[in-house]
């Protein structure tokens, strides 16, 4: 299959990790540009060392680069405000945007759950790190029983939470909760994030608690195990820390929830260590999900062109 030319906007740690993943892992994508706004950026310097064309003039610099007309996919690892401006600037081009910011201009996408539904969208959003980790579990439970309430707690190393994450805590909790509902299938979702200051830093851990209708325990376990394997296909460090816990609950444990089951899953996400430290699973799952999304969009484009 011919490779699709892509660009990354945002030369911070997330953009740099995504760059390394594309160069090392992808047989469908060719990285044709790494874009930043700081000429002294470490990410741009790393790109130049790896032979990737760069510009420090933002999306306007990208548009002026030789071969821009061949780029069909752009990953945006900047900020919500910058992504809105970038999306407007690229709106007239035949380009799909994969958004790693909280802007959420396009539909929320979790590759293992709903990417096929939005494969033709011009702008897709990667939700949040907590969403990428926990929405698949809620969706897996929803395949077996109606989920009335889903609550997740994402615990990440304080060292892996940059200024963008810290400035957008409210957006994180709101966006993740909406993802639990829209993609995971929960009637109501709630998300909590914990920045763990432990030294040495601990890898990302997530707790998922669902209140659902009565269902066969073995069917729930099988559905969750199947989903974990699907996520592991693009995030090898994604795993259940303990066996799925299923217990009966009385009505009223949560307002509006009938008697049924409480299903609890405890996850651990270890980063691949490509550019970011292994404890930064919260960042690695975002770049891994973005790469998986970009590759499948590229494959869909090739199939469409071949028809």
Q: Over the stretch 185-240, which tens digit does the pLDDT of each residue have?
A: 999 999 999 999 999 999 999 999 999 999 999 999 999 999 999 999 999 999 99
Residue 307 confidence (pLDDT) above 70: yes
165 labelled binding-site residue: yes
DSSP string across 69-138: GG--EEEE-S-HHHHHHHHHHTTTSS-EEEE-STT--S-B--HHHHGGGGTT-SEEE---HHHHHHHHHH
Question: What CATH number is given to the structural domain containing 148?
Answer: 3.30.360.10
Catalytic position from the list 20, 129, 135, 263: 129
State the pLDDT at residue 1.
64
State the pLDDT at residue 164.
73
Q: Please report which confidence band the pLDDT of residue 304 belongs to, taking 50, 70 and 90 as the band edges.
A: confident
Structural domain including 251 reads: 129-278
Is 134 in the same domain as 118? no
154 labelled binding-site residue: no
Question: What CATH number is given to the structural domain containing 302?
Answer: 3.40.50.720
CB 66 within 8 A of CB 17: no
Is 53 in the same domain as 141? no
196 labelled binding-site residue: no
Is 193 in the same domain as 260? yes
Q: Which of 81 and 207 is assigned the larger pLDDT?
A: 207
**Measured between alpha carbons, how far apart are the two ends of the chain, in Å?**
14
Is 95 in the same domain as 141? no
Is 261 in the same domain as 217? yes
CA distance 92 to 87: 9
Provide the percentage of residues in the chain whose pLDDT is more than 70.
98
Q: Over the stretch 155-200, which tens digit does the pLDDT of each residue have?
A: 999 999 877 788 778 888 999 999 999 999 999 999 999 999 999 9
Domain count, the chain: 2
Is 249 in the same domain as 150? yes
Token pair 């444990």 is at which residue? 253
Give this prediction's pTM. Answer: 0.95
Q: Is 212 a catalytic residue?
A: no
166 labelled binding-site residue: yes
301 labelled binding-site residue: no
Is 67 in the same domain as 134? no
């Amino acid at each position: 299959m011919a490779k699709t030319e892509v660009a990354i906007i945002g030369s911070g740690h997330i953009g740099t990790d995504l760059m390394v993943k594309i160069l090392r892992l992808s047989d469908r994508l060719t990285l044709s540009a790494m874009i930043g706004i700081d000429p002294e950026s470490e990410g741009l310097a790393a790109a130049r060392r790896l032979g990737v064309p760069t510009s420090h003039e933002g999306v306007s610099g990208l548009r002026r680069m030789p071969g821009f007309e061949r780029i069909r996919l752009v990953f945006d690892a900047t900020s919500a405000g910058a992504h809105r401006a970038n999306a407007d600037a690229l709106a007239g081009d035949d380009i799909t945007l994969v958004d790693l910011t909280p802007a959420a201009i396009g539909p929320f996408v979790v590759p293992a759950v709903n990417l096929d539904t939005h494969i033709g969208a011009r702008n897709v959003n990667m939700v949040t790190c907590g969403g990428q980790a926990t929405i698949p579990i809620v969706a897996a439970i929803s395949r077996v029983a109606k989920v009335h309430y889903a609550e997740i707690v994402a615990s990440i190393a304080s060292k892996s939470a940059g200024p963008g994450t810290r400035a957008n805590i409210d957006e994180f909790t709101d966006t993740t909760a909406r993802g639990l509902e829209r993609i995971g299938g929960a009637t109501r979702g709630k998300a909590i994030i914990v920045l763990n200051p432990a030294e040495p830093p601990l890898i990302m851990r997530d707790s998922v608690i669902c209140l659902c209708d009565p269902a066969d325990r073995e069917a729930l376990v099988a559905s969750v195990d199947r989903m974990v394997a699907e996520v592991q296909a693009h995030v090898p460090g994604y795993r259940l820390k303990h066996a799925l816990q299923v217990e009966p609950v009385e009505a009223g444990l949560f307002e509006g929830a009938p008697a049924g089951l409480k299903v609890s899953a405890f996850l651990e996400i270890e980063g691949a260590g490509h550019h970011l430290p292994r404890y930064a699973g919260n960042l690695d799952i975002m770049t891994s999900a973005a790469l998986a999304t970009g590759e499948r969009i590229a494959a869909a484009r090739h199939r469409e062109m071949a028809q």
